[in-house]
C-alpha cells in the first residue's frame, strides 16, 4: 500500500516529535549524576505531586499504616489515590520512603508494580508489629495513621 502525500507529511511530523522527545530525555539523563540512585539526585525529575507524596509517606510512623486515598486526602487531592500508588510504584530500590506502610482502603496489601511486592510488604509490616487478620487485612482502629506530623508544604490549602 503506497503512502499518500498527506501520510508522508504526517509520518515526518511524528518523526520530528519523537526526535525532540528523545533529545529532551537524553538531556535530562545527562544532567543526572550517573550511578546515583538517591532521591536527592532525582529530585529535579520528580513532579511536585510526587515529592509531596514521598514527604507524606515519610511522615507515617513506624507500626502505622495509611491508605492511598488517605495520603491523597492529606495532600488536598482526595480523588488522587491511584496517582499516589503510581508515585510510590516509581520509587527506586534503596529509597528512604517507607512505601510498605501504604495499603488500600480495606487495609489490604494491593501493590501491583512488583511480583514479589505483596510478600515483601507484608513481611516489612509484620516486622513493625502490624497484625493481619485471617482475611489479610489490617485493623484500621489499631494501626491506622491519622495524618499527624505531616511536614509543611504537603497539605494543600
Task: Let me know if residue 126 belongs to a domain.
Answer: yes
Task: Let me know if residue 155 belongs to a domain.
Answer: no
> What pLDDT was estimated at residue 5?
56
Task: Let me know if residue 147 belongs to a domain.
Answer: no
Task: Let me know if residue 4 belongs to a domain.
Answer: no
Task: Let me know if residue 55 belongs to a domain.
Answer: yes
The residue whose grid cell reads 510478600 is 119
Domain that holds residue 129: 39-142
Query: Domains in the chain: how many in total?
Result: 1
Q: What band does 153 get if pLDDT is binned at 50, 70 and 90?
A: confident
What is the domain-level CATH number for residue 131? 1.10.10.10
Task: Let me know if residue 28 belongs to a domain.
Answer: no
Task: Let me know if residue 148 belongs to a domain.
Answer: no
Task: Let me know if residue 31 belongs to a domain.
Answer: no
pLDDT digits (tens, 9 = 90+) for 33-58: 333 444 444 555 889 999 999 999 99
Tell which phi-psi region holds residue 97, choosing left (phi > 0), alpha (psi between -120 and 50) or beta.
beta
Tell which phi-psi region holds residue 149, choosing left (phi > 0), alpha (psi between -120 and 50) or beta.
left
Q: What band does 156 get if pLDDT is binned at 50, 70 and 90?
A: confident
Amino acid at each position: 500500500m503506497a503512502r499518500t502525500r498527506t501520510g508522508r507529511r504526517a509520518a515526518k511530523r511524528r518523526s520530528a516529535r519523537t526526535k525532540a522527545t528523545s533529545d529532551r530525555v537524553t538531556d535530562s539523563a545527562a544532567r543526572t549524576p550517573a550511578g546515583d540512585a538517591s532521591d536527592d539526585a532525582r529530585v529535579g525529575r520528580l513532579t511536585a505531586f510526587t515529592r509531596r507524596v514521598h514527604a507524606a509517606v515519610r511522615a507515617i510512623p513506624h507500626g502505622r499504616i495509611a491508605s492511598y486515598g488517605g495520603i491523597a486526602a492529606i495532600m488536598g487531592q482526595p480523588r488522587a489515590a491511584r496517582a499516589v500508588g503510581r508515585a510510590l510504584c516509581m520509587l527506586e530500590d534503596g529509597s528512604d520512603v517507607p512505601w510498605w506502610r501504604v495499603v488500600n482502603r480495606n487495609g489490604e496489601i494491593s501493590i501491583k508494580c512488583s511480583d514479589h511486592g505483596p510478600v515483601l510488604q507484608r513481611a516489612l509490616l509484620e516486622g513493625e508489629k502490624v497484625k493481619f487478620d485471617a482475611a489479610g487485612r489490617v485493623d484500621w482502629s489499631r494501626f491506622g495513621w491519622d495524618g499527624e506530623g505531616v511536614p509543611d508544604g504537603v497539605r494543600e490549602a
